[in-house]
Amino acid sequence: MKVKPDRTLDCLGLFCPEPVYRTRLELDIMRVGDILEVTADDPAAEMDIQSLVKRLGQEVISVTKKGNKVVFLIRKVK
Amino acid sequence: MQGRSEEAMSERKKLALIVHSGTMDRLYCAFILGSTATAMGMEVHVYFTFWGLAALVKGGFEKAGLPATYKHMEAQMKKKLAEMKYPSLVEMLRRMKTSGLLKIYACSPSMEMFGIKREDLIPEVDQIAGATAFLDVASDAQVTLLV
């Protein structure tokens, strides 16, 4: 079943630490239960974003690679 | 950025960073680590000493360049960073401070050595401190680094 995000964040062309910083800003303004879709093409982002979400106690729903892009679906759980 | 979330201060992971270097490349290394740590909800304690302290003066970060060995690459590197829309050192410092999770300490003997007074330093400095105070802070840190 395809999950529909409540917010999207385009980090294409941005490099560490920008994707992490901007993801954190989005999470700060989201409501609990909201889903964020983040797209990035920095090779570091695949691990960086997952590490951030884990440390913040939020949920990674999925990580999908599309060519050189990575798309994350993240749920704010607290 | 929300800094003081429901997580108690004592539960936060802590990064202790000694900034000994004052060149742009090394300051970027320190500030990328520091600003990422605050984004991750970590407390960040940064102790500026020697050349790092010399760069902590008003306008210092804006003027930071590459070391002599790589000076010939400086203009090109700054141009590339602008093309990448990369955040400046000042912007990264702002992010850390806005999080509420950053404390900056200025090394007292370095200040004396360089003839730098408190009023010469950027206003974001929290405390003038010595090695003991910093080691006390670093003793509780999970990550301690020197740049």
User: What are the E-state strand segments in B34-115?
Assistant: 43-48, 102-107
In this structure, is residue B19 part of a structural domain?
A: yes
Model confidence pTM above 0.95: no
Range of the domain at B127: 14-146
Q: What's phi and psi for B37, nearest 5 deg?
A: -60, -45
- What is the average pLDDT score of chain B? 93
pLDDT the model gives residue B1 = 62
**pLDDT over 90 at B11, yes or no:** no
Q: Residue A57 sits in a domain of what CATH number?
A: 3.30.110.40
In this structure, is residue A65 part of a structural domain?
A: yes
In this predicted model, what pLDDT tens digit does every residue of A2-52 receive, in sequence order? Answer: 789 999 999 999 999 999 999 999 999 999 999 999 999 998 999 999 989
In this structure, is residue A1 part of a structural domain?
A: no
C-alpha span between B46 and B104 (Å, rounded): 5
Which amino acid, one-letter code, is at B21? S
C-alpha span between B147 and B19 (Å, rounded): 5
Is B6 or A66 the better-scoring residue by pLDDT? A66
In this predicted model, what pLDDT tens digit does every residue of B22-63 receive, in sequence order? Answer: 999 999 999 999 999 999 999 999 999 999 999 999 999 999
Judge whether A51 is closer than 8 Å to chain B, CB to CB.
yes
Cβ pair B35:A17 closer than 8 A: yes
**pLDDT over 50 at B103, yes or no:** yes
Going by pLDDT thresholds of 50, 70 and 90, the confidence category of residue B7 is very low
pLDDT the model gives residue B2 = 53
Q: Residue B71 sits in a domain of what CATH number?
A: 3.40.1260.10
In this structure, is residue A2 part of a structural domain?
A: no
* CA A33 to each of CA A17, A47, A70, B86, B87: distance values in angstroms, whole numbers, following the listed order: 25, 23, 22, 32, 31
In this structure, is residue A61 part of a structural domain?
A: yes
Is B132 or B81 the better-scoring residue by pLDDT? B81
Range of the domain at A14: 7-75
C-alpha span between B112 and B105 (Å, rounded): 15
Catalytic residues of A: 16
Crossing angle of helices A45-55/A18-29, nearest 10°?
40
The stretch B87-113 carries a mean pLDDT of 95
* CA angle, residues B111, B48, B97, in degrees to nearest 5: 120
Chain A residues with CB under 8 Å of B84 CB are: 15
- Looking at the structure of chain B, the number of domains it has is 1
pLDDT the model gives residue B48 = 97
In this structure, is residue B5 part of a structural domain?
A: no
- Looking at the structure of chain A, the number of domains it has is 1
Crossing angle of helices B24-39/A18-29, nearest 10°?
30
Judge whether B95 is closer than 8 Å to chain A, CB to CB.
yes
CA B111 to chain centre: 16
What's the burial of B50, exposed, middle or buried (CB within 10 Å: 0-12/13-18/19+)? middle
Residue of B nearest to A19 (CA): B36
In this structure, is residue B104 part of a structural domain?
A: yes
In this structure, is residue B4 part of a structural domain?
A: no
Closest C-alpha among A52, A29, A49 to residue A38: A49
pLDDT the model gives residue B28 = 98
Distance between A1 CA and the closest CA of chain B, angstroms: 30
In this structure, is residue B7 part of a structural domain?
A: no
Going by pLDDT thresholds of 50, 70 and 90, the confidence category of residue B6 is very low
